[in-house]
Structure 1
Amino acid sequence: MTPVHLAGRRLALREVEPGDTDDLLAIYGDPGATRHLGFEPRTREQVQSIVGRSVVSAGDTPRTGYCLAVTGPGEHRLIGYARLATEPQRAATIGFALHPAEWGRGLGTETVHLLCELGFNGLGLHRVWAARSPLNEASARTLLRAGMTEDGRIRDHVFVHGAWRDSITYPILEHEWRPPA
């Protein structure tokens, strides 16, 4: 597949680049921004490693991981990080994190729509799904607004902040997804 560049009404997704480290660190290094994610705040070295792996995975054949920068339309600065990881049976899991300054503006919903566009229109997938922390009600609203359906609970799914945490799952099938009007 050619490099990913998808544009929505207020956002775009592009391939992660080595120069994105500082902007991603502002998200992944922030305890508030990572509070509901499946990991604790990252160090600069860890973020550099994530960026490096993201750049390398873009050239994998076959490509199974899409680690993408979320930007404003026509802008280059990373304001979020989005990921789609393919699975067998024409499926993929998605996830994303936005800089806290971008929260509450509906940009998460648009990010999910762009990831679904990549999955369904770009990759021909049948199922895309996401998981959230049970305490992350904002994520629940985002995923539901994007057309996903709460499906179930994975018990003791991730070990984070010294304890096991469940995850709530949200799938959407290819025939259920509709691009935003």
Structure 2
Amino acid sequence: MYPVTFSSPRLTLREFVPTDVDGLLAIYGDPRVTEHMSFEPRNREQVEGAIAGVVESARNEPRTDYSLAAVLPDGGELVAYARLSIDLGHPLQNSAQIGFALRSDRWRQGLGAEVVRLLLRLGFEQLDVHRIWGARSPVNEASGRVMSKLGMVEEGVIRGHLKLASGWRDSVVHSILAPEWEQTR
């Protein structure tokens, strides 16, 4: 599915374009945003490379990675990075992982929940996925609240999941199944 454009009244998910570097740098270059992520703040060159990679992978067939820019409808200001990645492995698995990063000046405005809601709609309503899951840092309670608010159930902890500069970090997993999503709509 290319190109993706998926909207709600408050946000639009769209494909990244090369001119999104400054918008994504405001997210990925901010230590407050990357504090709970699997990488340190990124510089302009790293963000340029990330955008080039997602622009290229968006045209893969079959497409398994949906890395999308979340923009405001009035002017297209980029406020979040949104990702839905189809889990590869057993062909009957039919699941996907989501991830999101919201610009820090947009925290506490409900936009994180809106990003996740759009990703869930994309996965369940357009890609016919059965299970969608997300992982978060154990201390990132805001992400936990966002996922719980949208019906994602906390499943448990993956111990020693990510190797960071500071050492190994656990991840808390949340998930939702297609029938549960249908009930929340």
Q: Deviations over 1:5-38 (max 9, x none)?
A: 1111311100011000111011101111110111
Unaligned ranges ≥5, structure 2: none
Aligned to 1:162: 166
Aligned to 1:101: 105
Q: What is the RMSD of the two structures over their aligned residues, measured on CA atoms?
A: 1.4
Look up the SS of the partner of 1:62 in the other structure.
coil
Aligned equivalent of 1:125, options 129, 137, 141: 129
Residues in 1 aligned to 2:40 and 2:183: alpha-carbon distance in whole angstroms: 33
Kindly indicate whether the alpha-carbon contact (under 8 Å) linking 2:2 and 2:59 is maintained by their aligned counterparts in 1.
no
1:65 aligned partner, one-letter code? D
2:156 aligned partner, one-letter code? G
Deviation at residue 162 of structure 1 after TM alignment? 2.2
Question: What TM-score does the superposition give when structure 2 sets the normalisation length?
Answer: 0.94
Look up the SS of the partner of 2:179 in the other structure.
coil
Aligned to 1:139: 143
Kindly indicate whether the alpha-carbon contact (under 8 Å) linking 1:113 and 1:179 is maintained by their aligned counterparts in 2.
no
Aligned to 1:63: 63
Residues in 2 aligned to 1:74 and 1:122: alpha-carbon distance in whole angstroms: 25
Point out 4+ residue stretches in structure 1 off by more than 3 angstroms.
Answer: 178-181
Residues in 2 aligned to 1:179 and 1:108: alpha-carbon distance in whole angstroms: 21
* Match status 1:172 vs 2:172: no
Q: Decide whether aligned partners of structure 1 residues 180 and 23 sit closer, same or farther in structure 2, where only a CA change above 3 A counts.
A: farther
2:168 aligned partner, one-letter code? W
Look up the SS of the partner of 2:158 in the other structure.
strand
Q: Percent identity?
A: 50
Q: Decide whether aligned partners of structure 1 residues 100 and 179 sit closer, same or farther in structure 2, where only a CA change above 3 A counts.
A: farther
Residues in 1 aligned to 2:98 and 2:142: alpha-carbon distance in whole angstroms: 16
Q: Deviations over 1:86-136 (max 9, x none)?
A: 014111000000100110011111111100111011101000000000000
Aligned to 2:87: 87
Q: Deviations over 1:129-169 (max 9, x none)?
A: 00000000111111101110000101111112321100000
Question: What TM-score does the superposition give when structure 1 sets the normalisation length?
Answer: 0.96
